[in-house]
Amino acid sequence: QVPINRLFKGSEMSICFYTITPQPEQNPVAYIFRLFSDKDGYSKLINTRAFPVTNPQNPKATEEAASLYGDLCVADFMNQEENA
């Protein structure tokens, strides 16, 4: 599996994206979520969260939960950037 990367563009100077990486890559026990902001050419790690796999028979459900969390975090972050 490869990390999930989602990219969201805010204003001309702001980009927000996240990655979801399985740990370990084979038979993951957790998915690591990282939220980044790139503003004026500088990247900044904003948030990191681990999503433990709660059902080893269905790790995809945990990956999907991490992805939903990422979508919500990005929407919230971009909303804060627009209102700042």
- At residue 67, the pLDDT reads 93
Residue 75 has pLDDT above 50, yes or no: yes
Strand runs labelled E in the chain? 4-9, 14-23, 30-39, 42-52
Q: How far is it, in rounded angstroms, from Cα 78 to Cα 46? A: 12
CB-based contacts of 58, cutoff 8 Å, min separation 6: none
Residue 15 has pLDDT above 60, yes or no: yes
Q: What confidence tens digit (pLDDT) does each residue in 19-73 have?
A: 999 999 999 999 999 999 887 778 899 999 999 999 999 999 999 999 999 999 9
DSSP string, 8-30: EE-STTEEEEEEEEEESSSS-SE
- At residue 7, the pLDDT reads 52
**Cα dist from 23 to 16, 44, 47, 53, whole Å:** 23, 22, 17, 10
Tokens of 17: 């994206």
Residue 2 has pLDDT above 50, yes or no: no
